[in-house]
Structures are given as structure tokens and as C-alpha cells.
Amino acid sequence: MRNVYLALVFVCVLLVSIFGFRGTKFTSPPIEVFPEWAFPGMKLQPKLRPQAESKFFADGRADRAPVEHTVMRGMLREDDHLNRGKDATGAFARGFPAGVTVDLKFIERGQDRYTIYCLPCHGMVGDGNVSIEDRWAVVAYVRALQRAQQGSAADVTDAAAKQTLGLK
């Protein structure tokens, strides 16, 4: 009988150890069987994570700004017509850039984007025929957007907001 109990306990321990904590997320660091200080390896490496703090650099940031007048490999946007809509003289280019094929699929893609981004203000057929109230609501919002770009400390009148922003 005793053996049956022992076997039962063994089976329980086995089941818990195999299935018990599956999917559980532990927040504390794992137990180190071979601690780094005793068995140096490459488990812990001095490195800086993106957007982390660094005492090494004067500005306190781990990230380094790209060297001025350099472009990341593969990120050079040489084609002015495609990227800026300008020609070699810097004037607005005419027609579509060479790499662009205007076919039905391309236009449908444009329709899709227009419907998402432009239709609410410019209307279904681009005549701006949305409801009269909505038009004025849009005007109000566009004015607010313009204003938001030109805000200054003088615009903050709320006392609590002033304090939060460190204004006197």
C-alpha cells in the first residue's frame, strides 16, 4: 500500500513539473544555475537598448544621432520627382514619375486612400459637398490645427496647466 502512495506522489510531482506552470509568466529573473561571475560567458553583455539612458555620452542618451549630411544605407531618396514631386530645377514636376504605372489597380488604390483620408472633408466626388454643419465643424477644426502650430506660452491661461508646464 505504501508503494501505491509513493507512486501517486511521484506521478503528481511529475505531472506538476511537466504541465504545472506552462504559460505562466514570471517577473523575477530566472535562477542562475551557473552564475555569470563564477562561469563567465556571454549571457550578460554590456549593451545599450534603444532609447535607453547612458551615462557615457554627454547628452545622457544611448541613441546616437546620425552623422550630419549622411544617409542610412538603402535610405537615400534620390528620385526627386518620386519623393518630392519636384524636377531637376526644383520646380513642381509635371506628370507622373517614371517608376509609377497608372493603371486601374493604381487608381483604385487611390480611391481607397481618398475614401479613408479625404472624403470626410472633400465629399464623395470631391466637391466638398458634406453636410453644412460638418463643413463648419471642419473649418473650426482646421483653424484649431493652424492655431496649434503657432501656439506660444502666452496661450496657456489655465493656472493648473501653467504650473504643470513650469510657466509662471
In 3D, which of 59, 63, 39, 35 has the Cα closest to residue 49?
63
Alpha-carbon span 15 to 36, nearest angstrom = 32
Cell 553583455, residue located: 45
Q: Is 130 in the site for ligand HEC (CB under 6 A)?
A: no
Q: Is 118 in the site for ligand HEC (CB under 6 A)?
A: yes
Alpha-carbon span 86 to 94, nearest angstrom = 8
Q: Is 92 in the site for ligand HEC (CB under 6 A)?
A: no
Least Å distance between CB 123 and ligand HEC? 10
Which range of residues in 16-24, 71-79, 119-127, 151-159 is near ligand HEC by CB under 6 A?
119-127
Contact set for ligand HEC, span 138-157 (CB under 6 A): 138, 142
List all residues 6 or more positions away from 34 whose beta carbon is below 8 Å from its beta carbon. Answer: 41
Which range of residues in 30-38, 52-60, 99-107, 116-124 is near ligand HEC by CB under 6 A?
116-124
Enumerate the β-bridge partners of residue 61: 53
Q: Is 121 in the site for ligand HEC (CB under 6 A)?
A: yes
Residues binding ligand HEC (CB under 6 A):
117-118, 120-122, 138, 142
